Amino acid sequence: MMNLARSDAQRKARIPVLRSAPAVSCLLALLLTLAAPAPLQAIRLKDVASFKGVRTNQLLGNGLVVGLNGSGDGTNVDFNTQELANMLQNLGVTVARDKVKVKNIAAVAITAVLPPFARVGSRIDVLVSSLGDAKSLQGGTLLLTQLKGVDGQIYALAQGPISVGGFAASGDAGGGVTKNHPTAGRVANGGTVEREVPFDFAGKDDISMALNEADFTTATRAVGAINKHLRGNYAFSRDGGTIAIKMPPGAKDQMVSMLASLENLEISPDTVAKVVIDERNGTVVMGENVRLSTVAVAHGNLMIQIKERPRISQPLPFSKGTTTVVPDTSITVKEGKDRLMVLPEGINIGQVVTALNAIGVTPRDLIAILQAIKAAGALQADLQII
């Protein structure tokens, strides 16, 4: 009877466990989900690559800004008066160059970017920057200026009022207030395209894509995504940065729509493990693939503080001595007492930051530590100093 009673008790004890089995299953599923590696981030192909031939072109010109309220170039700048005399002469007004002395003009350089597929009559923004010693371009108007490409051809004309995102104010006695850069501005839609850059997709048998960052893994993934989308072996990688695509049958007549479908394909680009350090402002940026080999780190700060306290020495009354200043220097040396910490092999970027923060490092200290870890061969990443 005791055995039967014990069995009944055991069966009763098992009942709660059996009832809680679904909860255990849910908990295990949740733990497996959390432990599973995060999926690779999908990026559109157009964000990491571009079609060859689809590019911008830089334009450059020089001209005059007029209408300045005495804030133009000074008398030491001669090329602005030369440009003004040439412009007036082209308009039929003859003036002597040595007699032209005005403070309401400024010689400027004009830059613009000609976008791909820009057509005659399209409007573009132009940037205006002072070439002389003008104090401000606020309130000025850019006169008609030719914008040329590297081939010397005129591709756009620029003219219009300048928008300056700053100002400068000063008094006759000196001093003043300056905000941002008043000697540079923008003419919104101030440029008009006058010449097109010829490029035609129609009728092409193949086309190439160039990756923004050359990488064999990314190129291979892009080729796979393109071939899967086109349902055939139409794409192949020439190298780590170029993908050649052969046009499928019947695609020549629908080139634009086909290229639009290709650039919206999603891939997972691969990145090189890299640590970028800017020692000028103490900035450290680390990629997600940065790894460490097992290494022990101890970092102690050494601070030396020197204080100068001049002391005045007064002579005794009715003596022939003079008052002198005696320097009094005090030097204080402090050294940190940080402990030695072992960073295990294979830790990721989050664990690297947590471990280094545990020993109380600052960004400046982190720069020195990373350089030392790289010198020891324990930093599995490219260390780039800018």
Q: How confident is residue 250, by pLDDT bands cut at 50, 70 and 90?
A: confident
At residue 252, the pLDDT reads: 74
At residue 177, the pLDDT reads: 73
Q: How confident is residue 54, by pLDDT bands cut at 50, 70 and 90?
A: confident
Mean pLDDT, range 307-332, rounded to an integer: 71
97 DSSP 8-state letter: G
Parse the chain into domains and list their residue ranges. 57-165+177-193, 206-267, 274-385
Mean pLDDT, range 193-216, rounded to an integer: 86
CB burial of 297-324 (b: ≥16 within 10 Å; e: otherwise) equals bebeeeeeeeeeeeeeeeeeeeeeeeee
At residue 13, the pLDDT reads: 41
At residue 43, the pLDDT reads: 87
| More reliable by pLDDT, 128 or 333 | 128
Mean pLDDT, range 230-236, rounded to an integer: 91
**Owner of token pair 């005129």:** 154
At residue 7, the pLDDT reads: 44
| More reliable by pLDDT, 248 or 356 | 248
Q: How confident is residue 89, by pLDDT bands cut at 50, 70 and 90?
A: confident
**pLDDT, tens digit, 9 for 90 and up, residues 162-190:** 998 876 766 666 667 777 778 899 999 99
State the Cα–Cα distance between residues 126 and 120, nearest whole angstrom: 16
At residue 97, the pLDDT reads: 64
Could you write out the DSSP letters of every residue in 260-272?
A: HHHHT-EE-----
151 DSSP 8-state letter: T
State the Cα–Cα distance between residues 95 and 84, nearest whole angstrom: 9
Q: How confident is residue 20, by pLDDT bands cut at 50, 70 and 90?
A: very low
At residue 31, the pLDDT reads: 35
Q: Is the pLDDT of residue 280 over 70?
A: yes
Mean pLDDT, range 89-113, rounded to an integer: 79
**pLDDT, tens digit, 9 for 90 and up, residues 131-160:** 888 888 888 999 999 999 999 999 999 999
Q: How confident is residue 33, by pLDDT bands cut at 50, 70 and 90?
A: very low
What's the whole-number average pLDDT of the chain?
77
